[in-house]
A and B are shown apart, each in its own frame.
Chain A
């Protein structure tokens, strides 16, 4: 097995070397070169830029998939490579050495959250139609989960799906659907039985967003960008073969996606944060702030926090590789990660001072405003900090449920 992994690592390295340049980092030595973007949510000046960014990421995913370096853990009959989970880690370790296209949340949702959810719960005909296209990022999918009145309390959602001849008629409103304006389909949870207990009256569907009656309206967020949308559904017909799982199993499907979401931010957060930390150190050096005792205290503290995220993520990963079931420990990672984003903002503000608040065109400086304005969003997205704490308290510590 070890040999297999090492052969795989060598193969990945060779392939990546053929397709991408090595990552050069962002240090004091190469200050001012290349992109200085450090956003939490991608926010480019024009819609065309955003489309191009997503397409570049999607093309990269197709290349990876076609070369056998994506969907590693999915069974072969479902379009994956049928490999143990440690291969995912090994591939990510190798890819981290390379300069790869900027990743967008919509790609993450499509490939890391929706595709594996579908692989677990979808009927064969649905998998046939969508799974490989999703894995190749040919079809992009947004989550249609939250509603104006159902945020943290997702199970109270009220968008309805009513049985009609050959399918379902959907009515309601979804919100905070990341990237829906660029998506082809949506993974939607709707209420199909108003009389059942609230967790049991839900059903999951794949909804093509081109269907008449679907109205996707981007929402501008506090960063100035348009990362997510509200989606209005008026008499939207969805054929019954687009139902995921049985009627009434929607909550299970939603929990699967949410679990992948927690794990995803919990497991892969570390490496990105280590890189961002290096940028903050370079920033302090470039601005002549590295000898300031307050800055040093803050940097030292940030480093400790970043290492905590990395090592807790690594430990979770080791548990997964050891065959231990993924548990609510993912909430730890998600919470630590969102807290670290906030801490990065604090340290950057300490380093830059007034240079942070206006854009005088200096490379690598005002760009941090996108980090500072974006970080609060991830304390909310994917299950708020408070929801994660409740999960940790009840499922890890075993504290009694609240009233």
Chain B
């Protein structure tokens, strides 16, 4: 009865999912925000990389200990907090808002979600991930990586560029082709045959690396076919990435509003001029749209296993919508934030370019907006008569 409204005769159905945060979720946002404000007082281009922010890894462990961010979505059985994507998306919005360079997309997102969905063979790794003692990421597309298994242990060969949050990781979850499909494997980066090279990147607040594997023995997590696991993990990570972009866009808008409200020209605050006001209103419109979309996708992701009327197909749709909306919100807000700041916005010292860089980079991660738009049409048109 509850879903009566959505038994429409044609078109994709949209179960109404609650969008307002719970009190607990709001408190979580506040806690993450104040933690980040304390440890990352103001982002600067010269210290934006996580390895400079946290050279000894103490902050990473503190983040695990005090907030449990690394284990936020890890089940309690594996020493995690057992929260879902709805909470994780809120955390990622805050991470994006402060342009935090901590590699949580790789750890909690790419590696964590894949290990979780891969099933029991990889679950024991979740504890190390949750406590922050394991630093991992994942490559969800095979990039031509192949798995050979002539002996009992499969070996991987391939080259993955760019590996998201790959700098300094000790493990990488890798999707690789084998003769009967695509499998998921876990690689220890300390083994011979592994080359992990940090790469210069447009986004100064995310670590990218190149991973080269030459006959590296790997632990097989899913086989024969891991497409379902990878599809779901990827969609969830798209939602987290989108949440991060929405947060970064919000940060850019807040900064623009703050500056425009105080900077004076022609004897009055520049924020009183309609040309600027209207642009900031447009920034808010695109951010609020993207935020509602991301929230919906995150809530949906948590219900896929719990409700009969929701499937991974719905999640993929919601995630693609989120990616397109959030990419647009961030690229627009970050560019306008620079413009509204004038000359200072174009300087290296001022942080406005960091959000702009994040936007240029995020747009290309986990599928471009162009590929997601196309996917949306495929998902709908093939969906008829469902």
Measured CB to CB, the residues of A under 8 A from B are 6, 9-10, 13, 22-29, 90, 93-94, 96-97, 274-275, 277-278, 281, 285, 290, 293, 296-297, 299-301, 303-305, 307-312, 314-315, 318-319, 322, 332, 335-336, 386, 388-390, 392-394, 396-403
Chain A positions within 8 Å of B384 at CB level: 27-29
| A399 with B373, Cβ < 8 A, contacts A389-B277, A393-B278 known | no
Q: Could you say which of A10, A275, A296, A305 contacts B377, with CB atoms under 8 Å apart?
A: A296
Q: How far is the CA of A93 from the CA of B8 in the complex (A)?
A: 10
B281 touches A397 (CB 8 A): yes
Q: Which residue of A lies closest to B289 (CB)?
A: A308
The answer on a CB contact under 8 Å between A25 and B8 is: yes
Are A303 and B380 interface neighbours, CB within 8 A? yes
Secondary structure of the B contact surface, majority rule = helix
> Chain A interface: which of B34-42, B76-84, B231-239, B264-272?
B264-272
Binding site for A on B (CB under 8 A): 1-2, 4-11, 14, 16, 18-20, 253, 257, 260-261, 268-269, 271-274, 276-278, 280-282, 284-285, 288-290, 292-293, 295-296, 320-321, 324-325, 370, 372-377, 380-381, 384
Other than the given A25-B9, A301-B324, A390-B278, 9 more pairs (CB < 8 A) read A9-B1, A28-B384, A93-B4, A97-B4, A278-B11, A303-B321, A311-B293, A315-B19, A392-B285
B-chain residues with CB within 8 Å of residue A322 when the two chains form the complex: 20
Q: Shortest distance in angstroms between A280's beta carbon and chain B's nearest beta carbon?
A: 11
A312 to B253, CA, bound (A): 18
Quick check: B11 and A399 within 8 Å, CB to CB? no
The answer to whether A311 and B289 have CB atoms under 8 Å apart is yes
Alpha-carbon distance between A322 and B26 when the two chains are bound, in angstroms:
15
Residue ID in chain B nearest A401 by CB atoms: B272
In the docked arrangement, what's the CA distance between A397 and B320, Å?
A: 29
- Flag if B277 contacts A23 (CB, 8 Å): no
Q: Do residues B261 and A398 form an inter-chain contact, with CB atoms below 8 A? A: yes
Q: If the complex has contacts A25-B11, A97-B8, A389-B277, are A399 and B271 also in contact, measured as CB distance less than 8 A?
A: yes
Complex: A312 Cα to B324 Cα, angstroms: 16
Which residue on chain B has the smallest CB distance to residue A391?
B281
Pairs across A and B, CB under 8 Å, 23 listed? A10-B1, A13-B4, A23-B8, A24-B9, A27-B11, A281-B377, A290-B377, A300-B377, A301-B324, A301-B373, A304-B325, A304-B373, A308-B290, A312-B288, A315-B295, A318-B20, A332-B288, A335-B285, A388-B281, A399-B277, A400-B261, A400-B272, A403-B272
- Of the candidates A22, A96, A336, A396, which one forms a contact with B289 in the assembled complex, judged by CB atoms under 8 Å apart? A336
Lowest 6 A-B CB distances belong to which pairs?
A300-B373, A93-B5, A308-B289, A25-B10, A393-B277, A311-B292
Contact B5 A304 (CB under 8 A): no
Q: How far is the CA of A383 from the CA of B273 in the complex (A)?
A: 19
CB distance from A24 to the nearest CB of B (A): 6
Q: Is A314 a contact partner of B19 (Cβ separation < 8 A)?
A: yes
Q: In the complex, A311 Cα to B257 Cα: how many Å?
A: 25
CB–CB B289/A312 < 8 A: yes
With both chains docked as a complex, state the minimum distance between the C-beta of A173 and any C-beta of chain B, in angstroms.
Answer: 28
The residue from B7, B11, B292, B373 contacting A296, defined by CB atoms under 8 A apart: B373
Q: Which residues of B contact A90 (CB under 8 A)?
A: 5
Cα distance A299–B375 when bound, in Å?
A: 11
Bound: A148/B243 CA distance, A = 46
Q: Enumerate chain A residues within 8 angstroms of B2, measured Cβ to Cβ.
A: 6
A28 vs B18: C-alpha distance in the bound complex, in angstroms?
Answer: 32
Inside 8 A of B320's CB, which chain A residues have their CB?
300
Do A399 and B260 touch across chains, with their CB atoms under 8 A apart? yes
Cα A27 to Cα B351 in complex, Å, equals: 49
Pairwise interchain contact B4-A94, C-beta atoms closer than 8 A: yes
Contact B11 A396 (CB under 8 A): no
Contact A311 to B277, CB < 8 A, known contacts A13-B4, A96-B5, A303-B321: no
List chain A residues, Cβ under 8 A from B374.
293, 296-297, 300
The 8 Å CB contact of A315, one of B4, B20, B272, B376, is B20
Task: Give the chain B neighbours of A307 by CB distance below 8 A.
Answer: 293, 296, 321, 325
- Cα(A27)–Cα(B273), bound, Å: 47
| Complex Cα spacing A112 to B338, Å | 42
> Which of B375, B377, B381 has the most chain A CB atoms inside 10 A of its CB?
B377
Q: Are the CB atoms of B292 and A400 closer together than 8 Å?
A: no
Which of B6, B8, B269, B278 makes the CB contact (< 8 A) with A386? Answer: B278
A278 nearest in chain B by CB position: B11
Contacts of A314 in B (CB 8 A): 16, 19, 292
Question: Roughly how many angstroms separate A390 CA and B269 CA in the complex, as a whole number?
Answer: 15
Residues of B within 8 A of A396 (CB): 281, 284
Hey, which chain A residues are within 8 Å of B296, CB to CB?
307, 311
What residues of B have a CB within 8 angstroms of the CB of A93 in the complex? 4-6, 16
When A301-B324, A301-B373, A319-B20 are in contact, do A392 and B284 touch as well, CB less than 8 Å? yes
- When distances are taken between beta carbons in the complex, the residues of chain A under 8 Å from B372 are 300
**Within 8 Å CB of A397, what residues of B?**
253, 257, 277, 280-281, 284
Q: Which residue of B lies closest to A322 (CB)?
A: B20
Closest Cβ neighbor of B267 among chain A residues = A403
Chain A neighbourhood of B325, CB < 8 A? 304, 307-308
Could you say which residues of chain A place their CB within 8 Å of the CB of B271? 393, 399-400
Hey, which chain B residues are within 8 Å of A299, CB to CB? 373, 376-377
Chain A residues within an 8 Å CB radius of B18: 318
Determine how close the nearest CB of chain B comes to the CB of A364; give it in whole angstroms: 15
